[in-house]
Chains A and B, each alone.
Chain A
C-alpha cells in the first residue's frame, strides 16, 4: 500500500505536537516550580471558568437554602460562620505571636497590623495530576495575593503557600503534602527541629530526626518554627502517626497533616509579611 500524503501529513502533525511538548518539558525541568508564560496564559484564561462554576453552584445552593430554609436563621448562621472563621484565624495567629513576643506594646502593634491581613479565599480547583499537590483559589494579584504568602484552613492549621502562577483573580497554593514542599517544624513542647516533606499521598514525612532521638513519639503535634522564612512560627502543621527505625541514620516518621482535604472550601491567605511580623 503506498504511503499517502495525507498519512504523512498527519504523522508530521503528531510528531510536531509531541516535539513541541517535549521542548516545553525540557525548558521547564531546570526552572523548578516557576511557571512559564504559556502556562500562565492558559491558567489565566481558563481559571475564570473554574471560578464561574463554583459561583454558579454556590448561587444555586444559596437560592435553595434562602428560599426553602429559615431565612433569618440562615443569615445569622452565615454571619456567625464568618465571625468564627475570622476569630479562628486571629486566635491561631495570636497564639503564634504570644510564643514569639513578650512586650505588650509590641504585641498590640502587631495585632493591629494582623487584623487587616487575613484574606478569606474560596477553593475553586484541585490539582488534576495529584489532589495532594496544589489547589486553585478565587483571589489573585488584584486582591493583593503574592507568591510565598502563607495559607491556613478554617481552624488556622497550615495548608501551604502561594506559588506561581498568580493570575489577576486566581492563584495556586502548593500544599504541604506536595513532594516538593518543605516546612521547618518542632513537636509542641519539645526541642527537636525537623523538616516536614510531603509524600504525595496525603501524608508527610518528618525528616532529619536522628535514630537515637527518643523525644518524638506518636501523637505529637508539630508546629512551625518560622526558620524557613516562609511560614510564621507556632502554626499547627500535623500530628505524628507513626515512628519507625530503619537502617539509615534517621528515623522514619509519618505525619498526618492537620488540615482535612474535605474541609478545604474556604481558606485564609495571610497577606502580611511573616518575616516582619514575627
Chain B
C-alpha cells in the first residue's frame, strides 16, 4: 500500500513538473521526460513487474492528455519499465556513471519505440521541436541519474 501511494504521489509530482515546465517554456517539454524517470526509478527499486505496470499507467496518462492514440506512449513506457527492472536485476547499475548510461539507453529505446509507433499509426513524422527531442534522452538521463544518486545518498544518511 505504501509503495502504491509513493508511486501515485511520484506520478502526480511528474505531472506537476510537466505542467510547470509548460508554463516556463514550451521548448523545455522536448528536453525532459519526467514520467519516464519515475517509471525507471520504481523499476530499479521494485523490479520489472512494478516497472511494467507503472510504465503502462504513466504512458496512458500521457496519452490521455494528447491527441495521440491512447496506448502509443503506454507501450513504449511499459517496455522500458520492464527492461529497467529486468536488466537492473542482472547488472549493477547503481554507480552514477553506469546509471547514467543505463538510463540514457533506456530513454533512447523508448524514444525509438514511441517514434516508430507514432509514425506508423499517424503516417506522419514526429515533431522533433527543431531537433530538441534528440537531446531528451541525454538531458533526462543526466538529470535522472543525478536525482537517483541524491535519493540514494539521502536514504543512506537516514539509515
A: residues with CB less than 8 A from B are: 9-10, 13-14, 17-18, 20-22, 24-25, 28-29, 33, 35-36, 38-39, 42-43, 46-47, 49-50, 53-54, 57, 124-134, 136, 163, 172, 174, 178-180, 200-201, 261-262
Q: Could you say which residues of chain B place their CB within 8 Å of the CB of A132? A: 127
Q: How far is the CA of A136 from the CA of B22 in the complex (A)?
A: 12
Q: Which chain B residue shows the least CB distance to A41?
A: B64
Q: Select A21's contact among B74, B82, B129, beta carbons within 8 Å.
A: B74
Of the candidates A9, A47, A129, A136, the one whose C-beta lies within 8 Å of that of B68 is A129
Whether B149 sits at the interface, judged by CB under 8 Å, is no
Q: Is the CB–CB distance between A126 and B29 below 8 Å?
A: yes
Chain B residues near A172 (CB-CB < 8 A): 67
Q: A21 and B71: CB pair below 8 A?
A: yes
Q: Is A129 within 8 A of B19, CB to CB?
A: no
A126 to B67, CA, bound (A): 10
Judged by a CB distance under 8 angstroms, whether B10 is at the interface is no
Complex: how many Å from CA A229 to CA B49? 49
Task: Determine if B12 and A42 form an interchain contact, defined as CB atoms under 8 angstroms apart.
Answer: no
Report if B23 contacts A (CB, 8 A): yes
Q: Could you tell me if A25 and B121 are in contact, using CB atoms closer than 8 angstroms?
A: yes
Q: Choose among B16, B22, B62 the residue with the greatest number of A CB atoms under 10 Å from its CB.
A: B22
Q: A10-B49, A10-B86, A126-B29 are in contact. Are A21 and B15 (CB under 8 A)?
A: no
Q: Are A50 and B19 touching (Cβ within 8 A)?
A: yes
**A261 → B minimal CB distance (Å):** 6
A-B contact pairs, 20 of them (CB 8 A): A13-B52, A14-B82, A17-B53, A18-B75, A24-B74, A25-B69, A28-B71, A33-B67, A39-B63, A46-B65, A49-B15, A53-B15, A125-B65, A128-B18, A128-B29, A129-B73, A131-B127, A133-B67, A133-B68, A178-B67
Q: Residues 1-45 of chain B: 1 if any A CB is under 8 Å from the residue's CB, otherwise 0?
A: 000000000001001101110110010010000000000000000
- Residue of B26, B66, B118 with most chain A CB atoms under a 10 A cut-off: B66
Chain A residues, CB < 8 A from B68: 127-130, 133
Q: How far is the CB of B25 from chain A (nearest CB, A)?
A: 9
Q: In the bound complex, do residue A57 and residue B20 qualify as a contact, i.e. CB atoms below 8 Å apart?
A: yes
Contact (Cβ within 8 A) B53 A25: no
CB nearest to A57 among chain B residues? B23
**Residues of B98-154 contacting chain A, CB below 8 A:** 118, 121-122, 124-127, 129
Could you tell me the distance in whole angstroms from the C-beta of B134 to the nearest C-beta in chain A? 15
A121 to chain B, nearest CB (A): 16
Report yes or no: A42 in contact with B15, Cβ–Cβ below 8 A: no
For chain B, residues 46 to 66, give those with C-beta under 8 angstroms from any C-beta of chain A.
Answer: 47-49, 52-53, 55-56, 59-66
Shortest distance between the CB of B111 and any CB in chain A (Å): 12
| Shortest CB distance B69–A (Å) | 5
List residues of chain A with CB within 8 A of the CB of B18. 128
Is the pair B82, A42 in contact by a Cβ cutoff of 8 Å?
no
Closest to A131 in B: B26
B84 in the interface (beta carbon within 8 A): no
Of B23, B68, B129, most buried by chain A (CB within 10 Å of CB) is: B23
Q: How far is the CA of A163 from the CA of B82 in the complex (A)?
A: 34
Using Cβ atoms and an 8 Å threshold, which residues of chain B touch A14?
Answer: 48, 52, 78-79, 82
The answer to whether B64 and A53 touch across the interface, beta carbons within 8 angstroms, is no
Are B48 and A28 in contact, CB atoms less than 8 angstroms apart? no
B75 touches A22 (CB 8 A): yes
B87 at the interface (CB under 8 A from A): no
CB distance from B14 to the nearest CB of A (A): 11
- A13 and B53 form a contact (CB under 8 A): yes
Q: Do B127 and A29 have beta carbons less than 8 Å apart?
A: no
How many Å lie between the Cα of A172 and that of B63 in the bound state?
13
B70, B72, B121, most chain A CB atoms within 10 A: B70
A42 surroundings in chain B (CB, below 8 A): 60-61, 64
- Residues of chain A contacted by B71 (CB below 8 angstroms): 21-22, 24-25, 28
> Contacts A17-B52, A17-B53, A129-B73 hold; do A136 and B79 have CB atoms under 8 A apart?
no
